[in-house]
Chain A
């Protein structure tokens, strides 16, 4: 549905996004994840035809965003960063204005407004000025605006930023509900958001894509790997081989840490096995003395942190 190939955008001297490529298939909900300033918003602004790329190509539904800008815009519903709204209008007037700009036929406009009001829960604030709405309601208005023409594609730039935890849950559920029949790209710098709403995560850092995998894969990565650090005394020679023989151990690496009494090893182990008992038995058999053993599980946060750390 959306295909991004070798996309680059340069502001002045600096490349905001640098040669990125990824695809989003019809019906997917993709989380576009990265720290602030990574290039998420820039990428979304190019997909939505707000600005053209410096080089590279973006097609939406097979149409190039530069050559068929108007047709691409018709396919997309867009919630821009910070959710700008006309604060001097009331909710109904605003939705009607957007519906007209979205080329809905006169007969369908009221119907669609009513549907959006129902889905987004705007019944109580219909005739209030947008300037008087709470942040949660503003966000719902933003989503209603993006959905009013029943687009095939939704581009949501940080849809839950600045909301309180209850509102965040509300908006996420709304996105899930709305996104069922649609292709959605949703940007965020919050991991749990991707876990809660998305099928797939594309992680971007400093203008480059550093990971692109389904959430199931990422999740398996969390539960699928654990790291055990052991510190042994009374060890001689290379023992990585014999440690590697323990069931479930995939990799053994000696770590050289200053100030440790013994020698340290880091074992990468499959997630469904706890090898600590075996390590202990092995040590007893080989006459090693265990002075420290610690197990750590890698969380999605660690993966994210590792992928996006600045150096």
Chain B
């Protein structure tokens, strides 16, 4: 546990020193802010649908950008050799780095609560659904980041890490949009795998254990794969 904390601290600092964190947070707020303002003032609609509709789409590009350097950079500069010969498990390295990425994503998403507050002051807002929606966003982002961490563990090139992670994330994003072309027997399992579908369930205000378990298993699976891929140096 202590090791995870040490890695987490170092990674988070690297984000803010780089200064990747400021770029990510600023860009994220500018993009969401633009969508929100146009909807709020121009269309004069006081609800959060636009926020919860657009953020999952922005995540597609942002999460691979946040995770792409996590492991690939250390593989490229060789510091990974220093790190994995310390008395620390591969799993702790992966989890610590992943949590730092999750902290950065949360720091980008949380300021958008301002939009929710503005809406609540002017119109009617379902508080429960809003909170659930934010929880859903974090879960969804967390799953994407786990996929990105895995993508970053595969290569020592950040560009390749970005593209592979984006591709994987995109596949999970698309799953519930291709249901209509699938044979009937495939619809249920594919629908279950879709990240979007579970997000929609949660953002309706119903936090079902099935959706939570889905996200936790996605995170667990991809972090496990990332740890395996880090350990693959052993069979080279």
Interface residues of A (CB under 8 A from B): 11, 45, 48-52, 70, 73-74, 76, 78, 80-82, 84-89, 93, 97-98, 100-103, 145
* Measured CA separation A76–B86 after assembly (Å): 9
Interface centre among B6, B77, B81 (most CB of A within 10 A): B81
Least CB distance, B89 to chain A, in whole angstroms: 8
Which chain B residues lie closer than 8 Å to A87 at the CB level? Answer: 77
Interface centre among A82, A84, A145 (most CB of B within 10 A): A84
* Measured CA separation A98–B10 after assembly (Å): 10
| List of 5 A-B pairs having minimum Cβ-Cβ separation, nearest first | A84-B78, A101-B86, A84-B79, A73-B87, A80-B81
Number of interface residues of B (CB under 8 A): 23
Least CB distance, A168 to chain B, in whole angstroms: 22
Task: Contact check, B14 vs A88: say whether CB atoms are below 8 A apart.
Answer: yes
Closest to A102 in B: B86
* Measured CA separation A23–B234 after assembly (Å): 24
Answer yes or no: B208 CB below 8 A from chain A CBs. Answer: no
Which chain B residues lie closer than 8 Å to A145 at the CB level? Answer: 82
* Measured CA separation A102–B6 after assembly (Å): 11
Also in contact, A51 and B234, with CB within 8 A (given A74-B87, A88-B17, A101-B3): yes
Q: Which residues 84-121 of B have a CB within 8 angstroms of A?
A: 84-89
Least CB distance, A127 to chain B, in whole angstroms: 14
Task: Contact check, B233 vs A51: say whether CB atoms are below 8 A apart.
Answer: yes
Which chain A residues lie closer than 8 Å to B14 at the CB level? Answer: 86, 88
Which chain B residues lie closer than 8 Å to A100 at the CB level? Answer: 6
Q: Which residues 137-168 of B have a CB within 8 angstroms of A?
A: none
Interface centre among B10, B13, B83, B85 (most CB of A within 10 A): B85
Which chain A residues lie closer than 8 Å to B78 at the CB level? Answer: 80-82, 84
Least CB distance, A305 to chain B, in whole angstroms: 31
Task: Contact check, B6 vs A97: say whether CB atoms are below 8 A apart.
Answer: yes
Which chain A residues lie closer than 8 Å to B234 at the CB level? Answer: 51-52
Interface residues of B (CB under 8 A from A): 3, 6, 10, 13-14, 17-18, 77-89, 233-234, 236
Task: Contact check, A50 vs B81: say whether CB atoms are below 8 A apart.
Answer: yes
Which chain A residues lie closer than 8 Å to B88 at the CB level? Answer: 101
Task: Contact check, A49 vs B85: say whether CB atoms are below 8 A apart.
Answer: yes
Task: Contact check, B81 vs A103: say whether CB atoms are below 8 A apart.
Answer: no
Cβ-defined partner of B233 (8 Å) among A48, A50, A98: A50
* Measured CA separation A126–B233 after assembly (Å): 34
Also in contact, A102 and B87, with CB within 8 A (given A51-B233, A84-B79, A85-B79): yes
Least CB distance, A269 to chain B, in whole angstroms: 49
Least CB distance, A9 to chain B, in whole angstroms: 10
Least CB distance, A234 to chain B, in whole angstroms: 66
Cβ-defined partner of A80 (8 Å) among B3, B17, B82, B236: B82
Least CB distance, B74 to chain A, in whole angstroms: 8
Also in contact, A84 and B87, with CB within 8 A (given A51-B233, A101-B6): no
Which chain B residues lie closer than 8 Å to A82 at the CB level? Answer: 78
Closest to B84 in A: A50
Which chain B residues lie closer than 8 Å to A93 at the CB level? Answer: 13
Which chain A residues lie closer than 8 Å to B3 at the CB level? Answer: 101
Cβ-defined partner of A84 (8 Å) among B18, B82, B236: B82
* Measured CA separation A206–B57 after assembly (Å): 54
Closest to A90 in B: B17
Least CB distance, A250 to chain B, in whole angstroms: 48
Listed A/B pairs (19) with beta-carbon separation below 8 Å? A50-B84, A50-B85, A51-B234, A70-B87, A76-B85, A78-B85, A80-B82, A80-B85, A82-B78, A84-B80, A85-B82, A86-B77, A88-B18, A100-B6, A101-B86, A101-B87, A101-B88, A102-B86, A102-B87
* Measured CA separation A70–B234 after assembly (Å): 16
Cβ-defined partner of A11 (8 Å) among B82, B84, B236: B236
Closest to B76 in A: A84
Which chain B residues lie closer than 8 Å to A70 at the CB level? Answer: 87, 89
Which chain A residues lie closer than 8 Å to B6 at the CB level? Answer: 97, 100-101
Least CB distance, A152 to chain B, in whole angstroms: 14
Which chain A residues lie closer than 8 Å to B89 at the CB level? Answer: 70
Closest to A54 in B: B235
Which chain B residues lie closer than 8 Å to A84 at the CB level? Answer: 77-82
Task: Contact check, B236 vs A51: say whether CB atoms are below 8 A apart.
Answer: yes
Which chain B residues lie closer than 8 Å to A76 at the CB level? Answer: 85
Which chain B residues lie closer than 8 Å to A48 at the CB level? Answer: 85
Closest to A145 in B: B82
Which chain A residues lie closer than 8 Å to B13 at the CB level? Answer: 93
Task: Contact check, B82 vs A78: say whether CB atoms are below 8 A apart.
Answer: yes
* Measured CA separation A89–B10 after assembly (Å): 10
* Measured CA separation A45–B17 after assembly (Å): 31
Least CB distance, A62 to chain B, in whole angstroms: 17
